[in-house]
Amino acid sequence: MKISKPTLIIPALLSLLLAGLSLPASGPQESRPGQVVLGDQGLHGYISFDATRPPARSAYSAGMGFYAAVWPLVGEPLAQFQIGLPSAWITPDNSDNKETPLAPVGTLARDHWPDRGPTYGSVFQTVEGGLGYWAGNHFRYGPPKFSMNATPQCYDYEVGSPGWSFFYDNEALPDERLGIAQLSNRLLIPPDALPFQGNPNGEFLGYSYMALPFTEPVAGEPPTGDQAWTCFLSAANFKGPIAYYIPETWSKIGKLFNYPFIYGRGLDSRPGIMGGGAMEINTVPCFQSKDAAGNIYSKLPDIRFPVDEKGRTLLVQDVTYYSKAALYDAFKAWRDGGPACSGAFDRKGAWKSTLTTRTTRFDQAGKKIRGVEKIFDTRIFEGNVWGLEWFDGTKSAMGHFPAYFRHVGEEREVVAAANVPAETRLRSQEFGLAEPGPPYTSPAGGAWGKPGPARGPFRVKLSDGSLVTYSWYRFVDQPSFQQYAWSEEKKAKLQAFVEKIHAAWTIDRDYMAPLRFGKLATLDPALLVTPPEGLEVGYVPIVMRQEAAPVPASVPGN
């Protein structure tokens, strides 16, 4: 669950640039006293923890999961703001390869990131995603959202939902790049990620990625393994699997680039490598101005954290790695005609990690920030819970990241708002709010139209102010599968097995081990749907469009 290293160009921002979208200047420019300048490199850093791995590392590489806190980092939905809450980071274990590039010539990683050589293992394939705010979100509403995300082809593209990439593409992915199979018949997965109900304040969302064998391995060109990395959620109003990455999503790169060396080296076949975790602070707007004496000051948005009565912010608990004994083995036996599998993760296949942490180094436009450690620092609390300890007397309220800084040589020094000279005009500056983005759209034809939906379309308004259009597809008829020339026998077997899953795995019982501390967060209830009559099992709701919901007309006299 390791967030990308600082040397990695952040995929969402890179893709914004490749798409030709404009961003604010990378850093505030020179100005005269009292002239306020806006930039986008106000804050960067990794509030992180390390996680120990079991002695038999490869044995516990079939899944990982944890509970992460959910809360609004900012009071209002800000434009050009990207911070990830603790999130997953899984790569295929190619530790046996020391020199040969995994990224083929012609891929983004191979052609642009030589520092990741010689193997390019860290940017070959990843399962990422989690809770956070992304610069490309179209429909911001205050709290964070949850999103799956993966990079199956050396960062050439990403797969973030059953139809779309990762927020910056309005149109659905090309048919041959679709990679996620919607599994839940009770939860919508919109392209702009999953919103929450109300205003969560430190409640927890559990999520795990488990490698499960929905289909058998396939020999040939290219060979494909049986590992379908499946996302499980644990919220107050929904528990269970939501979707999985089809194994061919990972294996097809070898044939596409005529590069047999990477056959059998993708996430469809190899154990997953999962390290520590972090909050990745990436894109934060920043105002800058000079005082009459020429001293430079800067201002950040109000970034806040929930604090309990002990002066703590609890961020992550129950980091767990799983072997095939946790679910894979029982799942495969059920698929092959054995006894029904409950879906609950078996504790005999679970290994609880011990966490450690260290003080974060924050910077602003590459310049070290000094003084944050006097306000809070990272800690491992009783019960192996990772979070923040506050030193400013904050109790049962909100902890605030410092907002004002004085530029001292090559560093930034935390200062109180009262010590920012009035002539800078910084204290009165307000950061721009995000506007709704353009609709996410899907084509009428291709994989979306043939075989096409069984019923729909239907529409529902979400808590983020968007309107989602969806239709019900027979499971194996959903768009992501149509790129593969599977036999009717293979499709029928998979369809029958998913019907069993829908009948047996309800959304009101635990799959992950229950939360130990605190309460579960609640997903937006509008995401929860009920299959129409006759489609109770074997059919899934596929989002086909997401757009800003119409604003109700005003009533005369009101």
- pLDDT digits over 206-232, tens only? 999 999 999 999 998 999 999 999 999
- Scan for tokens 């020339």, then name that residue: 485
Q: Which phi and psi angles does 523 have, rounded to 5°?
A: -70, 155
What's the pLDDT at 164?
Answer: 97
Average pLDDT of span 421-432: 96
Average pLDDT of span 362-390: 96
Average pLDDT of span 520-534: 98
- Cα dihedral 55, 56, 59, 61 sign: positive
Residue 441 in contact with residue 191, Cβ under 8 Å? Answer: no
Q: Where are the beta strands (DSSP E) in 228-324?
A: 228-234, 239-245, 272-274, 277-283, 286-290, 296-299, 304-306, 312-322
What's the pLDDT at 31?
Answer: 58
Does residue 162 have a cis bond before it (omega within 30 degrees)? no
Answer whether residue 204 shows pLDDT above 90: yes
Residue 16's pLDDT band, with cuts at 50, 70 and 90, is very low
Domain map (residue ranges) of the chain? 11-424
Average pLDDT of span 109-124: 97
Instruction: Please provide the average confidence, as pLDDT, over all residues in the chain.
Output: 92
Residue 392's pLDDT band, with cuts at 50, 70 and 90, is confident
Answer whether residue 11 shows pLDDT above 80: no
Identify which of 131, 123, 22 has the alpha carbon closest to the alpha carbon of residue 82: 131
What's the pLDDT at 53?
Answer: 84
What's the pLDDT at 5?
Answer: 33
Percent of the chain with pLDDT over 70: 93
What's the pLDDT at 20?
Answer: 29
Average pLDDT of span 289-296: 96
pTM (global) more than 0.75: yes
